[in-house]
Every structure is written in C-alpha cells, then in structure tokens.
C-alpha cells in the first residue's frame, strides 16, 4: 500500500525544530502510515529517522531579501514531493501553499505556534515603523487563506480567543514537554553550587536582564550560586547588551547567543539545574500563553522562580513547583527558599508530549482522509 505524503513546512524554524520534528513528525511517522518530509531552515547536522525526509532549503537572516524569494523555492519543492497534506507553521507562506492547493489539490493544517500578529506588534523584535505593515500583511494573509485551510492546530488555547477560528476545524495540541529517553532517568549532578538557569529565546520581554539583575543581587547574599544562560537571540542589540551585562562575572556562563542552541543541550542544562528562572514580563505578545519551558520544568521536576502570572501561577502552586517572585522588586527574596524541597506529588507524566499523541494522530487522520 502506498503511503500518503505529508509535508511539514516552515520558513524560519530549523528542520530539527522540537515541535515540528521531535513532536509532530515523529509521532505521525511512528504510525508507519505516512511518508513525512520536513521543509525548513538549515542545521549543521541533519537528523536521520525512518519515514522522515528533510529538506533544509532556507538559510538567511530574519530580515533579508532572500526571505522574499523563499516561497518560490518552497513551491518548487512541493511540486516535486506532491504532498496530500501540508502542515504549515508560519503565516508568510500560507498564500503559496494555498496557491499550491488550488492548482494541485491537497489538505492544509495551519499549526499556529504563535500569534504572529501580536509578536510582530509587541515583542520588540522588529524595528519601529516596519512592524506595522508586517503585522498587517500577516493578519491579512491569514484572513484570505482561512477558507482554504482544512484544520487549525493551536499550540496555545488562548489563540482560539484571539483569532476567532472555526471551532469545528480547530484543536489544541499544546506544547507539552518532549523529554528524550536519555534524560528520563538521569539524576542531577551533585554540587555545592546552587545552579540557576535561563533557557530558550533570549529577549527583553522574556526578562533576561531582570534575571541577571536578580542573580547579581542574589550573589551578595549567597556566594555558592552559578547562573547559566543557554539559548539564542535574533536581535544583535540584545546580544551586545547581554555580553556587556555579564562581562567579568565568573558566576554567569553563556551558551549559545547568536546561534541556535540544540534542544537536547538546553534540556541537559535544564535537567542539571536547581532552579529555572522564568522572569517573563507583561507583554501583549505573550498574554495568556503557557511557555514550553514551564512544561519542560514540570515534566523533569525542575523547580522554578517565576514572575506572578494569572495563567501560570496555578501550575506552580498545585505542583509545589517553585517560587512566585516579583523580578521587578528590590530583591525581597528569602535565600532559604532555595534550600526547600519542591514537587513530590508525582504529576510529571501529564505534562509530557506523549499525552498529546493520540489526539494529534486522530486529527491528522481525519483531515487527510
């Protein structure tokens, strides 16, 4: 029996992106019913997995002329692969995929991993006046292509409220934690240090500089502290400011920076930490969202120090998962809280990706068939 072909497509996500590859593609591929191909950004080492082929056809800066011609390269690949289902993960290529559907016929799932309109408008990642036309084009593109989309997968339930999507076509496949087997049973390395970590995207509104200020104050009260920053930023001004902020501080280590840190490296560092810092600031781009990092900490039972947030606070309190702290305050922090015991209610399994697999496969089967 000939397997049906599914393409998972993104312009900016690497071909080994955690959600696209490790979660969605691997889960669908393990059914042995489909041939999966992932089209995306180039990486240093292409993964090797049965039933999944990789097409690293993009390699450019976030703001680049090459990004304008990316849809042409994508269209050529789609003609070659002839997918019966396309899972698209970014709005700027929705139009070319819709065009492909009109000419050749296929089903489309729009995997909404972010509210891209809000990201462009409020995150600070795009320069002043440029963000307005970009955000407008993104939202217009989503509206025009909406009637041609067969299904909407949401990484966050809040997007359903923000984007007014058709309920009969929409499902929430939240970004629960994918934890490799090699880390499932590993133990923290014993150390006299209190190991703190900030992981993932390095950005102003994610509170990176609030985290550094917190550690600078903490080191005055507790000498045995080390802070690791592992992640990346696309913003050169943020990177320069970061380097200046950590210069000469032996208690802070930076891994990554302007290059993408491999997800397994991030998880290893997270697993080895005593506390993860989540100093997210209030921002319209992240309002109502549950960060993947939260699920990863809950799944690996890594305690967190986190800004108060009405969406996230219940996860912390009901799981005894850490400390809710105001990172904007003038260091009113009880150092003894770092030595308390957290978790202990054995709820880690429900925050792992495995709990999403049956729902994902059922949705994909329904759309493609």
Q: Token pair for residue 106?
A: 């296929």
Q: What pLDDT is recorded for position 228?
A: 96
For each of the chain's 369 residues, which pLDDT tens digit applies?
689 999 999 987 889 999 999 999 999 999 999 999 999 888 888 888 888 999 988 775 655 666 677 888 899 999 999 999 999 998 989 999 999 999 999 999 999 999 999 999 998 777 778 889 989 999 999 999 999 999 999 999 999 999 989 999 999 999 999 998 888 776 666 678 899 999 989 999 899 999 999 999 999 998 899 999 999 888 889 999 999 999 999 999 999 888 878 888 899 999 999 999 999 988 898 899 999 999 999 999 999 999 999 999 999 999 999 999 999 887 778 889 998 999 998 899 999 999 999 999 999 999 998
- Provide the pairing of β-strand 4-14 with 34-41: parallel
- Name residues whose C-beta falls within 8 Å of residue 191's C-beta, 6 or more positions apart in sequence: none
Q: Token pair for residue 90?
A: 């970014």
Angle 33-35-38 from CA coordinates, rounded to 5°: 135
- Measured distance CA(291)–CA(307) in Å, rounded: 13
Q: What pLDDT is recorded for position 61?
A: 61
Q: What pLDDT is recorded for position 189?
A: 65
The residue with tokens 């992240």 is 286
Q: Tell me: the pLDDT tens digits for 200-210?
A: 899 998 999 99
- Measured distance CA(203)–CA(236) in Å, rounded: 11
Q: Tell me: the pLDDT tens digits for 6-35?
A: 999 998 788 999 999 999 999 999 999 999
CB 116 within 8 A of CB 89: no
Q: What pLDDT is recorded for position 197?
A: 97
- Measured distance CA(138)–CA(179) in Å, rounded: 33
CB 56 within 8 A of CB 43: yes
Q: What pLDDT is recorded for position 13?
A: 86
Domain regions of the chain by residue span: 4-176+353-368, 181-351
Backbone phi and psi for residue 249, each to the nearest 5 degrees, phi listed first: -105, 100
Q: What pLDDT is recorded for position 71?
A: 85
* Same fold across 4-176+353-368 and 181-351: yes
- Residue 24's nearest CA partner among 15, 203, 118 is 15
Secondary structure of residue 119 in the 3-state scheme: helix
Angle 127-154-256 from CA coordinates, rounded to 5°: 50
DSSP letter assigned to residue 66: H
- Measured distance CA(4)–CA(349) in Å, rounded: 32
- Residue 7's nearest CA partner among 21, 152, 17, 18 is 21
DSSP letter assigned to residue 258: S
- Measured distance CA(39)–CA(236) in Å, rounded: 27
Could you tell me how many residues make up the chain? 369
CATH code assigned to 181-351: 3.40.50.2000
Q: Tell me: the pLDDT tens digits for 255-293?
A: 988 887 888 889 999 999 999 999 998 889 889 999 999
Query: Would you state the CATH architecture of domain 4-176+353-368?
Result: 3-Layer(aba) Sandwich (3.40)
Q: What pLDDT is recorded for position 187?
A: 65
- Name residues whose C-beta falls within 8 Å of residue 88's C-beta, 6 or more positions apart in sequence: 9, 10, 94, 97, 108, 109, 110, 111
Q: What pLDDT is recorded for position 188?
A: 66
- Measured distance CA(107)–CA(67) in Å, rounded: 25
Q: What pLDDT is recorded for position 332?
A: 79
Kindly report the pTM of this predicted structure: 0.92
């Amino acid at each position: 029996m000939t397997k049906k072909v599914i393409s998972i497509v993104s312009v900016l996500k690497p071909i080994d992106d955690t959600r696209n590859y490790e979660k969605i593609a691997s889960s669908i591929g393990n059914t042995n019913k489909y041939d999966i191909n992932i089209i995306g950004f180039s990486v240093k080492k292409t993964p090797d997995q049965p039933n999944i082929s990789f097409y690293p056809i993009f390699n450019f800066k976030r703001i680049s002329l090459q990004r304008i011609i990316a849809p042409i390269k994508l269209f050529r690949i789609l003609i070659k692969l002839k997918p019966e289902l396309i899972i698209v993960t970014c709005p700027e290529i929705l139009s070319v995929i819709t065009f492909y559907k009109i000419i050749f016929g296929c089903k489309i799932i729009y995997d909404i991993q972010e509210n891209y309109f809000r990201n462009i408008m409020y995150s600070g990642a795009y320069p002043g006046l440029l963000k307005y036309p970009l955000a407008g084009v993104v939202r217009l593109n989503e509206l025009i292509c909406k009637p041609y989309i067969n299904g909407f997968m949401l990484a966050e339930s809040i997007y359903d409220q923000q984007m007014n999507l058709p309920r009969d076509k929409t499902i929430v496949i939240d970004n629960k934690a994918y934890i490799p087997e090699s880390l499932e049973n590993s133990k923290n390395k014993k150390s006299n240090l209190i190991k703190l970590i900030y992981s993932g995207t390095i950005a102003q509104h994610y509170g990176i500089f609030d985290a550094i200020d917190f550690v600078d104050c903490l080191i005055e009260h507790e000498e045995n502290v080390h802070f690791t920053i592992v992640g990346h930023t696309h913003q050169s001004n943020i990177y320069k400011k970061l380097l200046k902020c950590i210069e000469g501080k032996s208690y802070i280590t930076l891994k990554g920076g302007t290059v993408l840190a491999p997800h397994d490296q991030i998880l290893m560092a997270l697993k080895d930490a005593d506390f993860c810092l989540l100093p997210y600031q209030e921002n319209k781009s992240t309002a109502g969202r549950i960060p993947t990092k939260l699920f990863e900490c809950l799944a690996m039972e890594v305690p967190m120090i986190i800004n108060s947030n009405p969406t996230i606070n219940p996860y912390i309190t009901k799981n005894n998962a850490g400390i809710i702290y105001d990172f904007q305050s003038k260091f009113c922090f009880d150092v003894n809280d770092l030595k308390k015991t957290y978790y202990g209610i054995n709820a880690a399994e429900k925050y792992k990706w495995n709990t999403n697999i049956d729902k994902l496969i059922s949705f994909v089967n329904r759309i493609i068939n």
